[in-house]
């Protein structure tokens, strides 16, 4: 019990620091101090500059196929986790499909980068390079799922032409290109000043992404009462069934002993809040923006409890 309480308190404190920035950014949006144009500019800068540089830096300097030969399993794991979440949510909402298809996306598609990166930086500062590498590899598989299946579900299959540009985005390009450079050995030929420049720019990814997350959440409205039952069921999958399944799978393997940080990373991913990209998809392609936004806002409030509790549960199970 002492270990459970200690782990929960440590994780909750780290998450609270992140959410203070989120709440501040949301407050600035509500007060119109941080305008939509500013948020859009920060979002674009994060997507096309800060996050790709962080990914390039961590993969080029930390990925070693000889030391981490199973690196390719992380993209596959991200796909499996997303599809497992969709399957669990479909089982819960089976009698109300397809009209409540958007809840499947909220219950299964997690914030794999913007939220997990700053939490990893706060919880594991001494191992953040390795943690960020896991995030980079994870989103190689996750991003295509988010922008294909996730978009179809979040928008309730809104009749819009396919937009394949969403699949080929700068973070994914950075992931694939940096992996190719490592596998071919070309990364060893890159001048050190160039790598240091990429590292310098990438250091802005975590704080800027945290501000962007808070700004997006701050612009949402919370009219949850009409959707309360749907929200309860979606959160049951997101913060109950999916993390429990992840902990069970990890317990059945040797990952906790061979790579404790990787196991903790996967638990955090499973218990993370829904992806901010979902609300962007609804805004761009159609769907029930008010419902998706309200359920997502509630989910971020509950995430402050979900992450530390499930991480503490894993620490107890793995010990």
Domains (range + CATH), the chain: 2-219+228-318 (1.20.1530)
**pLDDT (tens place) for every residue of the chain, 319 residues total:** 555 666 667 667 767 776 787 778 888 888 889 888 888 888 788 878 888 898 898 889 888 888 888 888 999 999 999 999 999 999 999 998 888 899 999 999 998 887 888 888 888 889 988 998 899 889 888 888 887 888 888 887 555 555 555 556 788 788 889 889 988 999 889 999 999 999 999 888 878 877 876 777 676 666 777 788 888 999 999 999 999 999 999 999 888 888 999 999 999 999 998 887 787 777 667 777 778 878 887 888 888 888 888 988 998 888 7
Q: What backbone torsions phi and psi does residue 158 show, to the nearest 5 degrees? A: -50, 135
C-alpha 254/C-alpha 249 separation (Å) is 10
**Measuring CA to CA, how many Å separate 71 from each of 66, 85, 140?**
10, 22, 11
Compute φ and ψ for 203, nearest 5 degrees: -65, -20
- Give the closest residue to 11 by CA, choosing from 313, 295, 317, 318: 313
Task: List helix spans (H) across the chain.
Answer: 2-30, 36-45, 51-62, 73-92, 102-108, 116-123, 128-145, 151-154, 170-184, 192-202, 205-218, 228-236, 242-251, 255-258, 260-270, 277-285, 289-318
**pTM of structure:** 0.82
- Residue 110, classed as helix, strand or coil, is strand
């Amino acid at each position: 019990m002492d270990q459970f309480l200690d782990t929960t308190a440590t994780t909750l404190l780290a998450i609270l620091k992140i959410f203070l920035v989120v709440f501040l950014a949301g407050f600035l949006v509500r007060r119109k101090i941080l305008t939509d144009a500013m948020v859009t500019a920060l979002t674009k800068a994060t997507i096309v500059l800060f996050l790709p540089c962080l990914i390039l830096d961590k993969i080029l300097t930390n990925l070693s196929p000889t030391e981490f030969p199973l690196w390719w399993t992380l993209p596959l794991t991200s796909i499996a986790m997303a599809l497992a979440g969709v399957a669990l949510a479909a089982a819960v909402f089976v009698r109300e499909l397809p009209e409540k298809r958007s809840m499947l996306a909220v219950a299964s598609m997690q914030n794999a980068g913007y939220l997990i990166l700053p939490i990893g930086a706060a919880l594991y500062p001494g191992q953040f390079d390795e943690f960020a590498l896991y995030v980079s590899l994870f989103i190689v598989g996750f991003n295509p799922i988010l922008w294909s299946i996730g978009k179809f579900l979040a928008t309730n299959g809104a009749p819009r032409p396919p937009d394949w540009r969403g699949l080929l985005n700068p973070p994914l390009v950075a992931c694939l290109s940096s992996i190719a450079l490592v596998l071919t050995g070309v990364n060893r030929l890159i001048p050190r000043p160039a790598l240091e420049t990429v590292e310098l720019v990438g250091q802005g990814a975590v704080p800027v992404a945290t501000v962007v997350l808070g700004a997006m959440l701050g612009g949402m409205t919370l009219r949850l009462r009409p959707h309360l039952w749907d929200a309860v069921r979606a959160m049951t999958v997101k913060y109950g069934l999916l993390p429990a399944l992840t902990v069970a799978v990890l317990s059945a393997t040797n990952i906790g002993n061979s790579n404790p940080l990787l196991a903790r990373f996967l638990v955090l991913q499973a218990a993370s809040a829904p992806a901010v990209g979902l609300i962007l998809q609804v805004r761009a392609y159609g769907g029930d923006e008010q419902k998706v936004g309200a359920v997502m806002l509630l989910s971020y409030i509950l995430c402050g409890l979900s992450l530390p509790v499930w991480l503490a549960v894993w620490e107890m199970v793995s010990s």
